[in-house]
Chain A
Amino acid sequence: MVIVRRRSIFDIFREYMEELEELADEIIERSMERPSWDTNAQSLEPLFNVFVRSDRVIVTVDLPKADPESIRISRISDDLVEITAKMRIKIRFEDFGVTHRKGEFTQFCCRIPLPVPVEVSEAKARFIRGILEVTFPRKRGYEIKVE
């Protein structure tokens, strides 16, 4: 006798989630397979993090050796911001013991996608201990009254 197990909604959902995870992994891997530096632009891509809270989105960027005066945050589009900062000193590959590559770096540059709608114009930024923190209030929606 052949027992045919019916796929429950949970199985379907699990499979769907697994597919999504694989896709996410692939996207991560593709974004990793490139250098974190650009010798033409003399820039390094800094590490960054995006925290989504219920009322705000907090973006932090690790900017060691950055000159705080030179930090620029600009809106590229509604869901993309660009952060640049000059370094206080020039960094060369040799500083990391790498001699087979030539080039020097004078700035940090990265573009950060914002995962949810925010009010870019109301953002606030501060620089503490070499970390830039930018807080964007999330877009407010239409309010529904609770009766």
Chain B
Amino acid sequence: MSGEEVRVIEYRDVPEGIRIVCGLPDIGLVGVIATAHIIYKLKLKEVAYVDADLLPPIVILENGLPKSPIRIFGNKDLFVLSSEIAIPSNIINLIVKGIIDWVWKKKAEKVLTLGGIPVPNRHEIEKLRIFGAASDETTLKKLVENEIEILQRGFLVGPQALILKYCAERSIPAMALLAEAFYNYPDPEASSVVIQALNKIMNMNIDVSELIEKGEEVRLAMRDMMRRTQTELMRMRKSQEYDVPGFYIR
């Protein structure tokens, strides 16, 4: 199997040099909720979708018409990748690789991926911390300049790990913004924290008050997707993010 089996099909021309924000299903659906909010707030239009024979046989019906569950939305400046289904763990590598291939062909200026870090006592935490990691030294410096604490050492498992890995291989500047979050409950509060960090880094002003106000509705609406995502996370051995890496290679 090769990455070419994954295709990004554009219905509108996507220019070169794009900035793209990714929100693939992961713990707390932090990235999915954040990207859905960004798409809604900036009124981004659907520009492309991800297709692959490997994906489960699913479409999402919108007003009676079939849509791909993994789509890219955008305007002139900003593009956003979001998924409405849990991506099966056995194909996540190929899907992310295919997407990053496309991002590379588009000579992306910057890739940002939004997500969470699981903390077992999340319900006791009032002020969520945010961490960052990047695909190269220069991008890492940008995180530091924006006062984002660097995730110095530890495991990343799942979409964030793959996005950073493939972007590093292709020399695409990429950063992951990860807020403390629930493992298996949708976490709109964590999503608002990553959006605020994104606002700072990208010089944007996306309002998150509505996301916080409607937090309970979001948690209810995301319940089924969270359930499916949790199963896939378990298969990816996501809990390894709790592990302390072993022998220190300096």
Q: Is A44 part of the contact surface with B, judged by Cβ < 8 Å?
A: yes
**Cα distance A91–B223 in the bound complex, in angstroms:** 13
Residue of B124, B219, B223 near A36 (CB, 8 A) is B223
Q: Is B68 part of the contact surface with A, judged by Cβ < 8 Å?
A: no
Q: Is B231 part of the contact surface with A, judged by Cβ < 8 Å?
A: yes
Query: Does B123 lie within 8 Å of A36, measured CB to CB?
Result: no
Using A25-B235, A47-B185, A131-B185 as known contacts, say yes or no to A91 and B220 having CB atoms under 8 A apart.
Answer: yes
Using A47-B184, A62-B185 as known contacts, say yes or no to A130 and B216 having CB atoms under 8 A apart.
Answer: yes
* Smallest Cβ-Cβ distance to B125: which chain A residue: A129
Instruction: List A23-71 residues whose CB lies under 8 Å from chain B.
Output: 25, 28-29, 32, 36, 44, 46-47, 49, 51, 60, 62, 64-65
Query: Does B220 lie within 8 Å of A32, measured CB to CB?
Result: no
Q: How large is the interface on A (under 10, 10 to 19, 20 to 34, 35 or more residues)?
A: 20 to 34
Query: Does A51 lie within 8 Å of B224, measured CB to CB?
Result: no
Residues of B within 8 A of A44 (CB): 220, 223
Q: Is B17 part of the contact surface with A, judged by Cβ < 8 Å?
A: no
Instruction: List A93-122 residues whose CB lies under 8 Å from chain B.
Output: 95-96
CB distance from A85 to the nearest CB of B (A): 13
Q: Is B54 part of the contact surface with A, judged by Cβ < 8 Å?
A: no
CB distance from B198 to the nearest CB of A (A): 24
Q: Is B120 part of the contact surface with A, judged by Cβ < 8 Å?
A: yes
Residues of B within 8 A of A2 (CB): none
CB distance from B124 to the nearest CB of A (A): 7
Number of A-B contacts (CB under 8 A): 48
**Cα distance A23–B6 in the bound complex, in angstroms:** 30
Residue of B124, B220, B235 near A64 (CB, 8 A) is B220
CB distance from A42 to the nearest CB of B (A): 14
Query: Does A133 lie within 8 Å of B183, measured CB to CB?
Result: no
CB distance from B50 to the nearest CB of A (A): 22
Query: Does B123 lie within 8 Å of A131, measured CB to CB?
Result: yes
CB distance from B32 to the nearest CB of A (A): 15
**Cα distance A28–B228 in the bound complex, in angstroms:** 10
**Cα distance A107–B33 in the bound complex, in angstroms:** 24
Query: Does B231 lie within 8 Å of A62, measured CB to CB?
Result: no
Residues of B within 8 A of A65 (CB): 216-217, 220
Residue of A32, A51, A130 near B228 (CB, 8 A) is A32
Other than A28-B234, A51-B120, give 18 A-B pairs with Cβ distance below 8 A: A25-B235, A29-B231, A32-B227, A32-B231, A36-B227, A44-B220, A46-B223, A47-B185, A49-B183, A49-B184, A62-B219, A62-B223, A64-B217, A64-B220, A65-B217, A128-B124, A130-B219, A131-B185
20 sample A-B contacts, Cβ–Cβ < 8 Å, listed by A number: A28-B231, A28-B234, A32-B227, A32-B228, A32-B231, A44-B220, A47-B184, A47-B226, A47-B227, A49-B184, A60-B123, A62-B182, A62-B185, A62-B219, A62-B223, A64-B216, A65-B220, A95-B217, A130-B216, A133-B123
The 7 closest A-B pairs by CB, nearest first: A64-B216, A64-B219, A62-B185, A131-B123, A65-B216, A64-B220, A128-B123
